[in-house]
Amino acid sequence: MSMIEHVKTAVLWLMIMASIVLTWFVWTYQPAYEELTEEDSSYIEVEDIGETKSFTEVLYPSKVIEHDEEEQAWVHPAGDNYSEMMSGMQEIELEAMYSVGSSHAPGGNLSFTGIEFLFDEALKAEWIPFLFEIEEEEVLINNIDRIVLALSEREGVSDVVVRFIDMDEEEVFESETSLSLAQLESFSEGVITERTEVVPRVFQEDDDSIFQPVTYVPDEPMNKQVYTYETTDISPEGFIQTLFTDPEYVRQYFEEGEDSSYTDGTRMMDMTEGGSILNYVQPDVSGTPGVSDETVVRSSQEFINSHYGWTDDFYATGWREGEATDSAEFTLHVEGMPVFEASTGQSGHYQLEAIRSGTEIIEYTRPMFQLDETPFEIDTSVELPGYSELERYIEEEEAFSPDIVEDARIAFYMSRQNSLVVFEPSWFVYTRGQWHRVATSEMTEQEVPSNGLE
């Protein structure tokens, strides 16, 4: 046998042995599997910053007025006192409603004993079983602008009745209760911390109706507390996890300044105003949207519950349902009082807003900071004039006439600088569909703290 044949034979045996060895490795190979932990997953569990709220916890009166015959007093919102009174309603058992026509129609000369709750927007009839103990079929009114707990003026009925007032339909419905006069008086006992005498005021009188949009304004000067809070920024990570179907495909894009955007190619989450406001948009891909069985306030409350929850005290203050989209607004309240304006000019710093198309929330806007639990201990207050004096000031100094004012309220003006926010009580008037602040610092002297923020 030649040398070449010996070499070929040796090579062949080497190939055979190599094949046997490789086959043995393949058959005996054990992959180095590691248990998949939460850290390895694309999902990052983020502790909820907020809390879930029940539907009744987002409903809140704009004013609470105590009536003692011809005298009225504004119950100042303080802490949770309005919320506690709303919770107290849920324990009141109501009999079936009955119409009393235009009796007890709101007006400047209406006199009774009881407590009146006014709301920013008309409540829906379907919400009443959430607020009181009453069967749904016993609710006969369509919309409720005001709720009154009043001492009954008729014989043969319960001592205390609850009145529901619909301003558009010009109807008043009553329900009897098992409450006594003593229970009516104790309803607010321990909850009402401060009262101010007010006068009824009809800003835009309707000559063709006995149902007048009466409101109540203080006519004497008063001192109101200024509050200063430290804030904590909220990370967008939790919203990425809850607002996007598959967070693994979300990409971040940086814009001018500290603004940025997150998108998965379909949905978009913009961080604007230096990252202090979140605006989330998802397109309506359903074609012809369906019709939701729930009101937009209820849909928005459930959406916020399941998308990182509620931070601070936000309450429903506005809602609209249209042909194309519906919207709901929830306004920040500090010590029970709403914020109506901010120095930044951005409502996204003090409001949550949700927009619904069909059955889906397609847009969501909210602030990306939250207040510390307690304010700084700085004793600062401002003196606010009574409305009559304010009206004279508007006539002399403002660019609009007092004749076009539709409402007037005391609320907070928010100033934000870095991580500090200051909430200053101010007069606001409602004209042309929005609230306007009337700066009254020139009319009254402000107490300046000797050891606090200016």
pLDDT band at 449 (very low <50, low <70, confident <90, very high): very low
- CA dist 339 and 438 (Å) reads 14
- CA dist 57 and 70 (Å) reads 32
Q: Which range is least confidently modeled, 21-30, 137-146, 276-285? A: 21-30
Q: Class of 229-370 per CATH?
A: alpha beta
- CA dist 426 and 371 (Å) reads 20
Interval 365-389: pLDDT, tens: 999 999 999 999 888 999 999 999 9
- CA dist 398 and 440 (Å) reads 11
Interval 318-328: pLDDT, tens: 999 988 899 99
Interval 148-190: pLDDT, tens: 999 988 777 789 999 999 999 999 999 999 888 888 888 777 6
Cα–Cα distances (Å) from 71 to 195, 202, 350, in that order, read 12, 16, 35
User: In this predicted structure, what is the pLDDT of residue 292?
Assistant: 80
User: In this predicted structure, what is the pLDDT of residue 169?
Assistant: 93
Close Cβ partners of 73 (under 8 Å, ≥ 6 residues apart):
65, 66, 195, 196, 197, 198
Domain boundaries, the chain: 55-218, 229-370, 374-438
- CA dist 125 and 144 (Å) reads 7
Q: Residues 183-191: contacts with CB within 8 Å, 24+ apart?
A: 184/114, 184/115, 184/149, 184/151, 184/159, 184/160, 187/85, 187/88, 187/115, 187/149, 188/66, 188/75, 188/85, 188/115, 191/81, 191/84, 191/85, 191/88
* Burial annotation 170-187 (CB, 10 A radius, 16+ → b, else e): ebbbbbbbebeeeebeeb
Q: Taking residues 76-93, report their average pLDDT.
A: 91
Residue 18 host element (H or E): helix 3-28
In this structure, what token pair is assigned to residue 130? Answer: 């959430």
